[in-house]
Amino acid sequence: MTFDEVLADLQAQAKTTKHAETGLWVAAQLRSRIEAGKLKPGSKLAEEALCEALGVSRNTLREAFTALHAEHIVTRIPNRGVFVAHPTADDVREIYRVRRFLEPAAVLWAGDTSMERLSGIIKAARAAAAEGDISGMASANQDFHRAIVDRAGSERLNSLMDQVLAEMRLVFHSMAANPAFHEPYVEDNAKIVELLEAGNLAAAADFLAAYLDRAEAQLLAAVER
Amino acid sequence: MTFDEVLADLQAQAKTTKHAETGLWVAAQLRSRIEAGKLKPGSKLAEEALCEALGVSRNTLREAFTALHAEHIVTRIPNRGVFVAHPTADDVREIYRVRRFLEPAAVLWAGDTSMERLSGIIKAARAAAAEGDISGMASANQDFHRAIVDRAGSERLNSLMDQVLAEMRLVFHSMAANPAFHEPYVEDNAKIVELLEAGNLAAAADFLAAYLDRAEAQLLAAVER
DNA sequence: AAACCGACGATTGTTCAACAATCTCGCGAC
DNA sequence: GTCGCGAGATTGTTGAACAATCGTCGGTTT
């Protein structure tokens, strides 16, 4: 999708929707379009055009920009404007540094374990895999890791994980997506659930850590090209 | 310190200091005064008075407010204004939920270990304890836990930990501070460094986890009064 | 012909003042 | 004594203005 098409899209939204907290609403609109891949990494987000399209003032738009900037979704270059973030190899390393801590820790030390949710996600992932639904597998995978961290029951860890997963989506959008990328992870996730159900937390955490290392290496190879 | 006194203080700062990034500068001014305890939890931060004192527009002040709000340092009540955050028992539980994950994980899985920094902090803490320097012990303690997480080498985990520690300072300000609170932790921290130096990571992590549980219980008892 | 240099136009950074929406407080009626 | 209502005050949001910076397009120099 080109920037102009997104503009028209946003303009349509602006007329139909009420905005309670305008700044947050604008941020949400942009976030969803960036994460859906409609605004590609590197795109410039011109202020005036977006203001007009959304029907908000520059002031409000800039408030949304600061929120998105804090989430690492956009990059600000002083006096140049804001751009959809374009994750570098270092960003990928940072993402996995966080995930290597959060996810194994959540597996090992989570208190209450609601397994139904995890098995439900595995089921959905297998269904998507069966019919070759790439985006279905991708979102099931994100749901899975989100649910792993959610076991910790911490709002802040959840929001950190959400940010990291959002940046992961940007990574996928910024490289030529290998369609088969997510396929092997469906069964890896299933194995983790198995180990968890068997109560073998240490094995689950180890397997997850190795899995994350592998994924990081794979993504780094793809990004550094 | 009363709100009016802080106002006069800010006004003095406003005349002498240059502000490069005005919004961030205002946020920093307020942050430092809140963390120093000059603005007590629950205080209302009136917009007009602060604008005048700092010599900035309401718009700029509100930009600072959103930054402080994202850090959980202030609370926003719609159409009511912003207040210095007043941590509840649930907030304390959330803080320790995060720390129980981050710190033991950092102990167990940190790659490069620069021990000199940790032992330096222990030394400073012991010096402060020797001369009964309460705030010296408090800040050494914060430095210690900050350094533990820093071993992970992740910018995002560091900033999460910084936020949590800032909220911890608010907790201390919102309750009648027990002067002897930090004293026993000086030697607890020292023991963790010992275990780390001996390469016994698992024991260090276990000890740290138990230590955090104890501190949480202690703070909860103090807050729920 | 290629490279350097300066003025112009465009975009962003920052501030201000005004208007609309909502809340608080005090007064009067029941 | 309690409820409802209106005036005053405070916050939410916007639009416009001005300053600062960057990219581009000529023109000049070597």
Return the exposure string of B154-174: e unless at least 16 CB atoms fall within 10 Å of the residue's CB, then b: bebbeebbebbbbbbbbbbbb
- Residues from chain B that touch A66, judged by Cβ atoms under 8 A, are 63, 66-67
The whole-number Å distance from A20's CA to D3's C1' is 31
Q: Collect all residues with Cβ–Cβ distance below 8 Å to B206 and sequence separation of at least 6.
A: B104
Cβ contact B86:B174 at 8 Å: yes
Tens digit of pLDDT for each residue in A69-81? 888 999 988 888 8
Q: How far is B129 from chain A (nearest CA, A)?
A: 33
pLDDT for residue B3: 62
pLDDT for residue A56: 86
Asked if B81 CB < 7 A from strand D, the reply is yes
All CATH 1.10.10.10 domain ranges in chain B, comma separated: 3-84
* Residues of chain A numbered 12-31 and touching chain B (CB < 8 Å): none
Separation of CA B87 from chain center: 12
Asked if B76 CB < 7 A from strand C, the reply is no
Instruction: Give phi and psi for A179, each to the nearest 5.
Output: -60, -30
Fold of A3-84: Arc Repressor Mutant, subunit A (1.10.10)
CA distance to A97, A182, B96, per residue, from B100 (Å): 18, 32, 6
- Tell me how far apart the terminal alpha carbons of chain A are, to the nearest angstrom: 24
Asked if B102 and A101 come within 8 Å (Cβ–Cβ), the reply is yes
Residue A110 scores a pLDDT above 70: yes
Could you give the CA distance from residue A181 to residue B183 in angstroms, rounded to a whole number? 53
Helix (H) or strand (E) holding A77: strand A74-77
Residue A19 scores a pLDDT above 80: no
pLDDT for residue A6: 63
- Whole-number average pLDDT of chain A: 87
**Smallest CA–C1' distance to C15, residue:** B57
pLDDT for residue B19: 45
Could you give the CA distance from residue A187 to residue A129 in angstroms, rounded to a whole number? 10
The answer to whether A63 contacts chain B (CB < 8 Å) is yes
Checking DSSP bridges between strand B44-45 and strand A74-77, what pairing results, if any? unpaired
Nearest 5°: the CA angle A40, A46, A50 is 95
The closest of A120, A123, A103, A108 to A200, measured between CA atoms, is: A108
Q: How far is A66 from chain B (nearest CA, A)?
A: 9
Region class of A81: left (phi > 0), else alpha (psi between -120 and 50), else beta:
left
Could you give the CA distance from residue A62 to residue A72 in angstroms, rounded to a whole number? 15
Fold of A89-223: Four Helix Bundle (Hemerythrin (Met), subunit A) (1.20.120)
Could you give the CA distance from residue B41 to residue B92 in angstroms, rounded to a whole number? 14
Two structure tokens written together for A56: 């908000």
Cβ contact A109:B206 at 8 Å: no
State the amino acid at position A57 in one-letter form: S
Asked if A199 CB < 7 A from strand C, the reply is no
Asked if A80 CB < 7 A from strand C, the reply is yes
Asked if A152 and B101 come within 8 Å (Cβ–Cβ), the reply is yes
All CATH 1.20.120.530 domain ranges in chain A, comma separated: 89-223
Tens digit of pLDDT for each residue in B137-172? 989 999 999 999 999 999 999 999 999 999 999 998
The whole-number Å distance from B92's CA to C26's C1' is 39
Position of tokens 């936020």? Answer: B163
Could you give the CA distance from residue A29 to residue A118 in angstroms, rounded to a whole number? 29
Lowest mean pLDDT across A44-48, A71-75, A110-114, B206-210: A110-114
Pick the residue of B101, B206, B212 with the most A CBs within 10 A to test the interface with A by mutation: B101
DSSP A107-153: HHH-SS--HHHHHHHHHHHHHHHHTT-HHHHHHHHHHHHHHHHHTT-
Tens digit of pLDDT for each residue in A199-213? 899 999 999 999 999
Position of tokens 């597996």? Answer: A107
pLDDT for residue A111: 66
pLDDT for residue B18: 45
Point out the residues of chain B with pLDDT beneath 70: 1-21, 111-113, 176-177, 225
Tens digit of pLDDT for each residue in A123-175? 999 999 999 888 899 999 999 999 999 999 999 999 999 999 999 999 998 88
> What are the residue ranges of helices labelled H in B36-177?
47-54, 58-70, 89-109, 115-130, 134-150, 155-174
**Smallest CA–C1' distance to D15, residue:** A57
Cβ contact B81:B45 at 8 Å: yes
Two structure tokens written together for A54: 């959304």
Could you give the CA distance from residue A133 to residue A193 in angstroms, rounded to a whole number? 22
Residue A92 scores a pLDDT above 90: yes
